[in-house]
Amino acid sequence: MKEFDGKVALVTGTTGIGLATARRLASGGAAIIACGIDRAANAAMKAELEGSGAGALVIGADVSVPDQVRDALAAGVERFGGLDIIVNSAAVHPYGTATSTDFETWNKAMSVNVGSIYLTAHFGIPEMTRRGGGAIVNVASVQGFACQQNVAAYATTKGAIHTLTRALALDHARSGIRVNSVSPGSIRTPILEKAARGDNGSDADVEAAYKRFGEAHPIGRIGEPEEVAELIAFLCSAKAGFCTGADYKIDGGLTAGIGVK
């Protein structure tokens, strides 16, 4: 018997860490409900996962919009019979300071990165409670602890995820629902690639940037989405039954030092 046999998992975000996590949970026997706005990524995930394991339902949905989250979750519950796991990985990463970031961009970051976690909890926790509990993992970032310059909105959202994770864990522990977050360092995802490529960078420029980013981590490289997915899978599993209300860094030692060499 696989570790997630009979479980149903909602995963937001169909690229990067979200994709790797959906693959990992599906390989463990879980049925997958996936939500994302990237049509090409949605189609690729659908082609890969829908016919495998316990099945997958990939839905084009903006997870910052209440009705779309509610309807996606309802469709998944109707198909698979319930909900046991939520992994919130959807994110946007705007760059800017408080003075250079317009209010629309600020609100979009808050709505996608934090609001989506509220929405999946709001609509999903009642379904999980009916099943006797479950596990929620929110993808935060080391930028919620110590941030670089020019990421005011993004870093603020990631700090908020840490706080919301603790609040959800306390409020719903007695319903059998565990809530944790993970805080990655630099991970090979489309968001990091965009940062590495800049406006007109080549593939060689991207690889050079990855090497430079990796050198900032004591372990000497950037991380892979599959490594984060393994940590998430552990936190979703029965092996992590006494883990709730905590954040788990997966950053290659990035936040262990003080930045002075």
Active site residues: 154
Angle at alpha carbon of residue 33, lines to 29 and 39, rounded to 5°: 125
Instruction: Please give the C-alpha separations between residue 215 and each of 198, 218, 230, in angstroms, as whole numbers.
Output: 19, 7, 23
Separation CA 195–CA 208 (nearest Å):
12
- Annotate the chain with DSSP letters as a single string: --TTTT-EEEEE-SSHHHHHHHHHHHHTT-EEEEEES-HHHHHHHHHHHTTSTT-EEEEE--TTSHHHHHHHHHHHHHHHS---EEEE-------B-TTTS-HHHHHHHIIIIIIHHHHHHHHHHHHHHHTT-EEEEEE--GGGTS--TTBHHHHHHHHHHHHHHHHHHHHHGGGTEEEEEEEE-SBSSHHHHHHHHTTT--HHHHHHHHHHHHHTSTTSS-B-HHHHHHHHHHHHSGGGTT--S-EEEESTTGGGS-S--
Separation CA 57–CA 166 (nearest Å):
29
